[in-house]
């Protein structure tokens, strides 16, 4: 198994685990809030169940416990026109939970975090009300006096179903905006996932802007953009935190607290990231991910603890332990959630960018491989053409010399064998040094010199600094063939061929193939040999070559190569 998987698994497990936990939390919280107790407080601060005609709603549910601890239950059907409450009693008490403490009853253990409790206290209420067979068909009507009589002589536990289209949080909200903020505070995945996507887009945009406009000062731009984003986030979310007790504190407390925590975390994370650059991508992203979360929570704990310490030492009457537990609860729910979203968006941005770069490199590799294959095929075709052309000429020369000059025929055959031994024992090499190319061309010209006699002269000018430079095999063979074929000087009855190799600077190589033939014309037609040379140059030096035909001071084909830009 790829070792990278061991770095990705903890990241994926933490993200999916938290999203599942937040989904479970919201489901239980919504179940808990489906019914809430109908209570009010008397003048002594004692909790009293609401049971009156004016505030009754359909499907309100009540359990009445008499002095003998016998339980009965009824549900509210509505209010009659004459102001009486219509209720319907239950058939049997055996479907009620076996307890008298219904306000704290749970089917399973409660899950308490700070000042909040998640339980399934209302599941049985919902089940009883929705099952109409649990209730008698007879409807009972009560006046306000009769209801007060029930409260005086019995204990009544009331539950009311929250009105739909209102916020599911009865403590904070009365509108959609607060509802969304509450669901965000509770970690609703339907809220968190869009926020992660937005953060991912922001990371992606910032990287694009850096590459397009801030290539020289990318770090400066990154710091400015991050601090600006933290400032905006602090302004909008800092107003929710009004101080350590969340009572009467200043709005600036939350803004400064969030801004300071996030800026310090950003600076620390940016500092530590430079130590991870030597690791492979998977390990580097693993370290990035958990460093962001750890540093973020650590900074918030330190800063909030310091503020609380100052606040509570000056206010000893406060219950420091209680509020400290609430502080830790909010840090490990709210703060952890925030840093997990940031780390997840950062991870996804880097992962998608990495996958995109791999796909881009794969396409480039495919293109290079395809071009290399075409180049190799072209080179093989060029070599085949050179060998075939040269072989035909040599065989015709041997046939012509055999009757008149048997000694030259033997020499020509041996030279031809030497040339072919040299060119065929190259193990399919694509590149050869200039020194090796000159040796092959010398063998070729020796064969031609035997065929043409003293009328052919040739020379090579190769400096020591270029002899080891590699060029495509048989790049120059067509030029030498053309020089022999078209380099005849009618007036002097000779053919002079000269090849020169020298550098114009460190990376620029100039090759000149000159002959003594007729000058190039303005309407010169390009033959097969020149086309082969141009094709090789385009394939192996696509952006780093020029070829020109000059007549002064000597007729030459000049090739200039940027050997640094060759395509391998």
Residue (of 565, 554, 467) closest to 518 by Cα position: 554
pLDDT at 171: 43
Higher pLDDT: 421 or 126? It is 126
Give the C-alpha separation, 566 to 568, whole Å.
6
How many CB atoms are closer than 10 A to CB 126?
16
Q: Highest-confidence range of 28-42, 218-232, 290-304, 340-354, by mean pLDDT?
A: 340-354
pTM: 0.50
Residue range 241-252: mean pLDDT, rounded: 48
The whole-angstrom separation of Cα 263 and Cα 325 is 25
CA-closest candidate to residue 151, choices 90, 94, 104, 85: 85
Question: pLDDT at residue 152 above 50?
Answer: yes
Residue 426 confidence (pLDDT) above 70: no
| Higher pLDDT among residues 304 and 321, named by residue | 304
Quickly state the pLDDT bin for 388 (edges 50, 70, 90). Answer: low
What band does 458 get if pLDDT is binned at 50, 70 and 90? Answer: very high
Domain locations in the chain?
34-161, 188-366, 402-565
97-149 pLDDT, tens digit per residue, is 888 877 666 544 444 444 445 555 556 788 888 888 899 989 999 999 999 88
Is 34 a residue whose pLDDT tops 60?
Answer: yes
Mean pLDDT of 260-280: 82
Selected residue with higher pLDDT from 290 and 402: 290
Question: HEC profile for 413-440?
Answer: HHHHHHHHHHHHCCCCCCEEEHHHHHHH
Q: What is the CATH number of domain 402-565?
A: 3.30.565.10
pLDDT at 518 over 70: yes
pLDDT cut 90: percent of the chain above it? 10
Q: How many C-beta atoms surround the C-beta of residue 438 within 10 A? A: 18
369 pLDDT tier (thresholds 50, 70, 90) = low
Q: In the predicted model, is pLDDT for residue 48 greater than 70? A: yes
The rounded distance, in Å, linking the Cα atoms of 524 and 390 is 24
Cis-peptide into 553, omega within 30 deg = yes
Which pLDDT tens digit goes with each residue over 294-313? 888 888 777 777 766 665 55
The per-residue pLDDT for 540 is 84
Q: Taking residues 219-231, report their average pLDDT.
A: 76
């Amino acid at each position: 198994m790829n070792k990278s998987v061991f770095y990705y698994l903890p990241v994926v497990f933490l993200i999916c685990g938290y999203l599942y936990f937040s989904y479970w939390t919201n489901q239980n919280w919504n179940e808990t809030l489906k019914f809430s107790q109908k209570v009010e407080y008397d003048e002594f601060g004692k909790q009293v169940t609401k049971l009156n005609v004016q505030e009754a709603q359909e499907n309100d549910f009540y359990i009445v416990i008499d002095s003998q601890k016998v339980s009965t239950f009824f549900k509210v059907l509505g209010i009659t026109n004459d102001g009486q409450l219509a209720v319907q009693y239950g058939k049997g008490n055996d479907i009620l939970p076996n307890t008298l403490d219904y306000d704290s009853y749970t089917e399973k253990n409660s899950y308490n975090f700070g000042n909040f409790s998640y339980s399934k206290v209302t599941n049985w209420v919902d089940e009883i009300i929705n099952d109409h067979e649990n209730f008698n068909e007879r409807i009972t009507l009560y006046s306000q006096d009769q209801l007060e009589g029930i409260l005086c002589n019995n204990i009544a536990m009331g539950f009311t179903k929250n009105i739909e289209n209102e916020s599911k949080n009865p403590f904070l909200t009365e509108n959609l905006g607060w509802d969304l903020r509450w669901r965000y505070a509770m970690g609703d995945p339907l809220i968190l996932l869009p926020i992660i996507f937005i953060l991912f887009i922001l990371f992606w945009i910032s990287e694009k802007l850096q590459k397009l406009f801030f290539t020289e000062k990318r770090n400066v731009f990154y710091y400015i953009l991050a601090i600006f984003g933290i400032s905006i986030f602090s302004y909008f979310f800092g107003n929710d935190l009004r101080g350590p007790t969340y009572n009467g504190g200043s709005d600036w407390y939350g803004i400064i607290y969030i801004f300071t925590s996030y800026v310090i975390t950003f600076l620390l994370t940016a500092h530590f990231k430079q130590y991870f650059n030597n690791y492979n991508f998977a390990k580097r992203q693993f370290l990035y991910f958990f460093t962001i979360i750890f540093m973020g929570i650590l900074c918030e704990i330190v800063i909030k603890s310091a503020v609380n310490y100052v606040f509570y030492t000056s206010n000893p009457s406060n219950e420091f332990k209680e509020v400290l537990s609430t502080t830790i609860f909010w840090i490990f729910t709210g703060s952890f959630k925030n840093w997990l979203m940031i780390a997840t968006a950062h991870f996804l941005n880097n992962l998608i960018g990495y996958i995109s770069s791999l796909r881009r490199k794969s396409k480039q590799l495919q293109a290079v491989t395809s071009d290399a294959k075409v180049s190799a095929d072209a080179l093989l075709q060029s070599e085949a053409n050179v060998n075939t052309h040269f072989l035909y000429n040599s065989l015709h020369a041997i046939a012509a010399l055999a009757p008149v000059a048997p000694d030259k025929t033997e020499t020509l055959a041996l030279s031809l064998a030497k040339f072919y031994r040299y060119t065929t024992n190259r193990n399919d090499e694509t590149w050869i040094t200039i020194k090796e190319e000159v040796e092959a061309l010398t063998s070729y010209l020796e064969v031609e010199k035997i065929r043409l006699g003293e009328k052919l002269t040739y020379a090579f000018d190769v400096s020591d600094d270029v002899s080891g430079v590699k060029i495509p095999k048989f790049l120059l063979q067509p030029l030498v063939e053309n020089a022999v074929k078209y380099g005849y000087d009618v007036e002097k009855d000779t053919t002079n061929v000269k090849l020169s190799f020298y550098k114009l600077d460190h990376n620029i190589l100039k090759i000149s193939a000159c002959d003594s033939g007729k000058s190039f014309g303005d309407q010169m037609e390009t033959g097969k040999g020149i086309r082969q040379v141009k094709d090789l140059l385009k394939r192996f030096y696509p952006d780093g070559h020029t070829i020109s035909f000059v007549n002064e001071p000597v007729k030459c084909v000049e090739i200039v190569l940027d050997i640094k830009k060759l395509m391998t």
